[in-house]
Chains A and B, each alone.
Chain A
Amino acid sequence: EVQLVESGGALVQPGGSLRLSCAVSGFTFTTYDMHWVRQATGKGLEWVSGIGKAGDTYYAGSVKGRFTISRENAKNSLHLQMNSLTDGDTAVYYCARGGPNGFDYWGQGTLVTVSS
């Protein structure tokens, strides 16, 4: 059974940093692209970042230069390092498995709240 479990969400002050993780199981992690998608309360989905099988990385304009996506293949884990956080980054962050057939599996999300 495919599972994605996010962790690391917390309350952080503006300007602070946070590292999210996503532990995956049930599939061969190294053969899939992975993504982070976020959703502010009552708002729509926003793609944040993606990482390819070879480690190539991609970012939405709103987070480029502040967020860093990485993957730890030996531990079947995906990470998102978030720096210089602002109120606008407050959201539930989902990790999702990507591929030519779309984002076919999602975690349940982890809440990041940026507030003083």
Chain B
Amino acid sequence: SYELTQPPSVSVSPGQTARITCSADALPKQYAYWYQQKPGQAPVLVIYKDSERPSGIPERFSGSSSGTTVTLTISGVQAEDEADYYCQSADSSGTCWVFGGGTKLTVL
């Protein structure tokens, strides 16, 4: 089955840049999506189609793609960005979806 691999945790100090990677185990890679989830809340979409930002999401959130790896970058991290982040993509048919295991972002 299709798998997406994320680091379990990333830690940064306020104002620094956080990078969270997500690696797919096969080609072709479909578009990737990123979600932020804070404790007790539903996930929120922060990046779609690898690098597009939904309205209302701060500009410090950006996404990029290279080969089978996508990266979520948060520039100038703020305390409020502390959350779990999940990448998501679809299998080759585009009909079944997969989430990465999630990355806990800690703001020191």
In contact, A101 and B99 (Cβ under 8 angstroms):
no
A108, closest chain B residue (CB): B42
Chain A interface residue bracket vs B: 20 to 34
User: Quick one: given A35-B97, A58-B95, A102-B48, are A45 and B42 in contact (CB under 8 Å)?
Assistant: no
Task: Flag if B35 contacts A101 (CB, 8 Å).
Answer: no
A37 to B43, CA, bound (A): 10
Chain A residues near B52: list those with CB within 8 A.
101
Q: Which residue of B lies closest to A60 (CB)?
A: B96
| Residues from chain B with Cβ under 8 Å of A61 in the complex | 1
Residues of chain A lying within 8 A (CB to CB) of residue B84: 44
What sequence of 0s and 1s flags, for each residue 73-90 of chain B, a beta carbon within 8 Å of any chain A beta carbon? Answer: 000000000001010100
On whether the beta carbons of A58 and B96 are closer than 8 Å, the reply is yes
Contact A47–B42 (Cβ < 8 Å): no
**Listed residue (A44, A102, A109) with the most chain B CB atoms within 10 angstroms of its CB:** A102
B96 touches A47 (CB 8 A): yes
Q: At the interface, yes or no: B98 with Cβ under 8 Å from chain A?
A: yes
Indicate if the CB atoms of B97 and A50 lie closer than 8 Å: yes
Q: Which of A47, A56, A104, A106 contacts B97 (CB 8 A)?
A: A47
Are the CB atoms of B88 and A46 closer together than 8 Å?
no
Residues of A within 8 A of B44 (CB): 106
22 contacting pairs across A/B (C-beta < 8 A): A37-B43, A37-B99, A44-B86, A44-B99, A44-B101, A44-B102, A45-B35, A45-B37, A45-B86, A46-B99, A58-B96, A94-B42, A94-B43, A101-B45, A101-B52, A102-B33, A103-B35, A103-B43, A104-B45, A104-B48, A106-B42, A109-B42
Residues in A lying within 8 Å of B, measured CB to CB: 35, 37, 44-47, 50, 56, 58-61, 94, 100-104, 106-109
B interface list, Cβ under 8 A from A: 1, 33, 35, 37, 42-45, 48-49, 52, 54, 84, 86, 88, 95-102
